[in-house]
Amino acid sequence: MKVHGLLLLDKPVGLSSNVALQKVRRLLGADKAGHGGTLDPMASGVLPLMFGEACKLAGAALTHDKAYEAEVCFGITTATDDVEGEVISRSDERPTREALLAALPRFLGVIQQVPPVYSALKVGGKAMYRHAREGAPVAAQPREVRVDVIELLDFDGERARLRIECGSGTYIRSIARDLGAALGCGAHLSGLRRTRVGQYRVQDAVTLDALLAEGPTAAQSHLHGLLALVAGWPQAELTDEQARRFAQGQAVPWQTPTNPNADLSSPLPIGPAIDAPEGQVPSIDLAQIAGLVDGPLADTAYGLMVEETPAAATAPSADARSAKSTRVCRSSTRRSRRRRRIGRCR
């Protein structure tokens, strides 16, 4: 049986994200699987897992904002900036609560951050952690990241527990390292739990032990449909005739989104490559998606990438100014292999 959908896993400490993924894939009997956002073995928390056709939308999860609860240990720095690395230095100095609270605001907002030496970022075509393991570590250039919330939850003089909400690409290990440096005592990340990826919360995730105990049949009850991956995107409901035309690559006019809160004037998130030649912007096969979510074509609603029609040279009428004319576009297909992408229409 083909397996398609999204599963929210509460990854345990001690397993890499890929090992956890493969355990669930084998349990469900899925042919294709992927995850949205790597968690290090020392970290736990919500890990979105995609199976089958959902893998084509996995990139949407990678760009989501994330939330964490982090434990920072002061007085010790490590090679990896976390508890698993070799100890580099020790200090008897410890920050006061007042000093810690005063230092936290400098990590808020859009900041420049240097990734850890042991990271998956590539330098010279090779991951930085590979350079480091070969005895030739390289320093990455500072990158711009965004931190929306950094809040002190607890502090015992040795360790601080922080709540952090941040944009994609932010390294919590780097925040721990830089916080220790700012306080003059050094620090490393001693614990990490991811509580949210976009709209996916750890409270809605299932543990690996629970899945394995339930068995394959019961485990499938935790799968969410493909529409969960595009929740929050502007949506449109198409009639059977519109759906037929759309699936054949024809433009379908759309003026009234079913989501009244949709802001068609702002940029929409660009989805991942869904089997499409680079640079082309095709549609989703609506009939295929409707079948996967067990819904009729006329009732199937899903995220669409849209653009407003450029204003005419002459002054538009009042009705024309109020209506937002959008279109859905599709690229050509290859004979040997059809590749699709959700993207902003150009």
CA–CA distance, 252 with 329 (Å, rounded to integer): 8
Residues with Cβ within 8 Å of residue 67, at least 6 apart in sequence: 149, 163, 164, 165, 166, 194, 195, 196
Q: Which helix (H) or strand (E) holds 246?
A: helix 240-247
Residue that has been written with the tokens 């660009």 in this structure? 270
CA distance 326 to 246: 14
Helix (H) / strand (E) containing 110:
strand 109-113
Distance CA 249, CA 246 (A): 5
81 is catalytic: no
Active-site residue (options: 10, 40, 82, 285): 40
- Which helix (H) or strand (E) segment holds residue 288: the answer is helix 286-292
**Other beta carbons less than 10 A from residue 332's beta carbon:** 10
Residue 235 has φ and ψ, to the nearest 5°, of: -125, 160
**Structure token pair of residue 86:** 């070799």
With contact defined as beta carbons under 8 Å apart, do 71 and 179 qualify? no
Q: Of 192, 142, 199, give the one whose Cα is nearest residue 164.
A: 192
SS3 207: strand
Give just the sign of the alpha carbon dihedral 21, 27, 28, 30.
positive
3-class DSSP assignment, residue 10: strand
Report in angstroms the alpha-carbon separations of 344 from 233, 270, 305: 12, 6, 5
Dihedral angle, C-alpha 258, 264, 266, 270, nearest 10 °: 70
Residues forming the active site: 40
